[in-house]
Chain A
Amino acid sequence: GENVEQHPSTLSVQEGDSAVIKCTYSDSASNYFPWYKQELGKGPQLIIDIRSNVGEKKDQRIAVTLNKTAKHFSLHITETQPEDSAVYFCAASGSSGTYKYIFGTGTRLKVLA
C-alpha cells in the first residue's frame, strides 16, 4: 500500500549548522510533496512544498529536493536556529484521483544553542 518513510527520527544539530531530513515514498503516482513543522501542542504548519515537475525549491533557509526516479525527497535547513526545533513531517499526495496525504513518521529536530 501507500507508504512514506522518513529518516532520521531524531536529529540534533548545533546552532548554525545544517539539517537534512529524508523521505521515501512508495506510490509513483504521488505528485505533490509538502513539508510540515509541528511545534508542541500545535497543528502542523506548512513550511514548503514541491510538485513533481520540479526538482528543487528554495525559500530562504529552507529547501526541498525531489528525485522522482528514486522516489526520494529531502528537506534542507541551513543556518539552523533554536526556533527551528520542532517535529517535521514530510507527506506525499495519494494516488491519482485522491488528495489525501500520506505522512511520514516525523523527525524531531533539536537545535542546540
Chain B
Amino acid sequence: EPEVTQTPSHQVTQMGQEVILRCVPISNHLYFYWYRQILGQKVEFLVSFYNNEISEKSEIFDDQFSVERPDGSNFTLKIRSTKLEDSAMYFCASSGGGRETQYFGPGTRLLVL
C-alpha cells in the first residue's frame, strides 16, 4: 500500500539554525500539507500546497517557514532560523484528486536546543 514517507525521523538543531524537513507524498497525489504537533498537544495545520503554490497557511506559518516541491516527488518544509518553540513533531500529509482524505507520514521529531 502506498504511503507518505518523511526524513529524517529525528532532527536536533541549535536555535537560529536552518532546518529542512523532507517528505515524499503518495505518488499520484496532488495536494500536500504540513502539520505540527507540540508534545502533548493537538495536531495543528501549518500549510497546504497545490500546483506549485501555497493554497492556504495558518498564522503559525510565518516568514520563517517556507515550502517547496523541488522535483516530482519531494515536498520540503524549511525553517529558516529555528526557535525553541519550533520543537515539535512535524507531519507531512497528501491527498488525491478528491482532496478530502489526507494520508499522513510518520513525522519528523524536531528538537531545537
Is B44's CB within 8 Å of the partner chain A?
A: yes
Which one of B42, B48, B56, B103 lies within 8 Å of A105 (CB-CB)? B42
Interface size range of chain A in the complex? 20 to 34
Is A103's CB within 8 Å of the partner chain B?
A: yes
Q: Could you tell me the dominant secondary structure of chain B's interface residues?
A: strand
Q: From A2, which residue of chain B is reached at the shortest CB distance?
A: B45
* B2-40, CB < 8 A from A: 4, 6, 31, 33, 35
* A88-108, CB < 8 A from B: 89, 91, 93-94, 98-106
User: Would you give the shortest CB distance from B7 to chain A, in whole angstroms?
Assistant: 13
Is B75's CB within 8 Å of the partner chain A?
A: no
State A90–B58 Cα separation when bound (angstroms): 19
Q: From B91, which residue of chain A is reached at the shortest CB distance?
A: A43
Assess the B104–A44 pair: CB atoms within 8 A. yes
Assess the B95–A99 pair: CB atoms within 8 A. yes
Given the contacts A43-B104, A43-B106, A99 and B31 also touching, CB distance less than 8 Å: yes
Other A-B contacts than A43-B4, A100-B33, 11 sampled, CB-CB below 8 A, are A36-B104, A42-B107, A44-B43, A44-B91, A89-B43, A94-B45, A98-B48, A99-B55, A99-B100, A101-B35, A103-B44
Please report B residues at the A interface, Cβ cutoff 8 Å. Answer: 4, 6, 31, 33, 35, 41-45, 48, 55-56, 58, 91, 95, 99-107
5 sampled A-B residue pairs with Cβ under 8 A? A41-B106, A43-B106, A44-B43, A99-B100, A100-B48
